[in-house]
Amino acid sequence: MLGFFLGRLAQAALVMLVMSVLVFLGVYAIGNPIDVLIDPAASPGQRLALIQQYGLDLPLWQQYLRFLGSVLQGDFGNSFVFRIPVLSLILSRLPATLELATTAMLIATLLGVPLGIWAGYRPQARSSKAIMAVSVIGFSVPTFWVGLLLILFFAVEFRWLPSGGRGPAGALGLSIWSAEGWTFLLLPALNLSLFKFGLLIRLVRAGTEEVMGSEHVRFARAQGLPERQVVGLHVLKNIGIPIITVFGLEFGSTLAFAVVTETVFNWPGMGKLIIESITALDRPVMVAYLILVVLLFVLINLLVELTYGFLDPRVRVKGAP
Q: Can you spell out the DSSP letters for 30-45?
A: SS-THHHHS-TT--HH
Does 235 lie in the same domain as 207?
yes
313 located within any domain: no
Residues paired with 85 in a beta bridge = 78
Residue 127, class by beta-carbon neighbours within 10 Å (0-12 exposed, 13-18 middle, 19+ buried)?
Answer: exposed
Residue 263 located in a structural domain: yes
How sure is the predictor about 302, in pLDDT bands with cuts at 50, 70 and 90? confident
Residue 36 shares a structural domain with residue 170: no
Do 31 and 128 lie in a common domain? no
CB of 55 within 8 A of CB of 66?
yes
Indicate if 35 and 160 belong to the same structural domain.
no
Distance (Å, whole) CA 147 – CA 169: 23
* pLDDT for the residue numbered 154: 92
CATH number, position 273? 1.10.3720.10
Which of 202, 200, 181, 104 shows the shortest CA–CA distance to 147? 104
Position with higher pLDDT, 197 vs 4: 197
Length of the chain: 321
In a domain, 295, yes or no: no
Q: Are residues 152 and 6 in the same domain?
A: no
Q: Do 109 and 256 belong to one domain?
A: yes
Tell me how far apart the alpha carbons of residues 69 and 185 are, in angstroms, rounded to a whole number: 38
Q: Please, are residues 159 and 273 in contact by the beta-carbon 8 Å criterion? A: no
Is 293 in contact with 234 (CB distance < 8 Å)? no
Asked if residue 4 has pLDDT above 70, the reply is no
Q: Is 72 in a helix, a strand, or coil? A: helix
What is the predicted pLDDT for the residue at 251?
A: 84
By residue range, what is the domain housing residue 250? 90-280
Interval 36-61: pLDDT, tens = 666 667 777 777 887 777 777 778 78
What is the torsional sign of CA 78, 79, 80, 84?
negative
Task: Categorize the per-residue pLDDT at 295 as very low, low, confident or very high, splitting at 50, 70 and 90.
Answer: confident
Residue 83 lies in a domain: no
**Considering the domain boundaries, does residue 178 fall inside one?**
yes
Whether residues 10 and 50 share a domain: the answer is yes
- Rounded to two decimals, what is the model's pTM? 0.80
- Give the tens place of pLDDT for each residue, 212-230: 777 777 777 777 777 777 7
Distance between terminal CA atoms of the chain?
A: 10
User: Do the beta carbons of residue 47 and residue 3 sit within 8 Å?
Assistant: no
- Are the C-beta atoms of residues 289 and 274 closer than 8 Å to each other? yes
Residue 299 counted as domain residue: no
- State CA 139 to chain mean position distance: 17
For residue range 78-110, what is the model confidence (pLDDT) as tens digits? 887 888 888 889 888 889 999 999 999 999 999
Q: In this predicted model, what pLDDT tens digit does every residue of 117-175 receive, in sequence order?
A: 888 888 888 898 899 888 888 878 888 888 999 999 999 988 899 988 888 888 888 88
Judged by phi (left if over 0) then psi (alpha if -120 to 50, else beta), residue 41 lies in alpha
Query: Rounded to an integer, what distance in angstroms lies between the CA atom of residue 45 and that of residue 169?
Result: 45
Count up the domains in the chain and report the number. 2
Distance of CA 268 to the CA centre of its chain: 16
Q: Looking at residue 188, what is its pLDDT?
A: 93
- The reply to whether 177 and 221 lie within a common domain is yes
For residues 52 and 197, membership in a common domain is answered with no
| Cβ-contact 104, 251 below 8 angstroms | no
Domain boundary among 72, 98, 130: 72
Of 45, 72, 99, which residue is a domain's last? 72
> Helix 86-121 crosses helix 283-311 at what angle (to 10 degrees)?
40
- Please indicate, yes or no, if residue 14 is contained in any of the structural domains: yes
**End position of a domain, from candidates 16, 41, 72:** 72
| pLDDT higher than 90, residue 301 | no
Pair 12, 137 in one domain:
no
- Regarding whether 194 and 132 lie in a shared domain, the answer is yes
Does residue 320 register a pLDDT over 60?
no
Angle value at C-alpha 45, between 39 and 49, nearest 5 degrees? 85
Are 52 and 108 contained in the same domain?
A: no
| pLDDT interval class at 321 (50, 70, 90) | very low
User: In a 3-state reduction of DSSP, which class is residue 85?
Assistant: strand
Query: Does residue 82 belong to any structural domain of this protein?
Result: no
Residue 308 in this model has a pLDDT that exceeds 70:
no
Q: Express each pLDDT in 237-291 by its tens digit.
A: 777 777 887 888 788 888 877 888 888 998 988 888 888 888 877 888 888 888 8
User: Is residue 317 scored above 60 in pLDDT?
Assistant: no
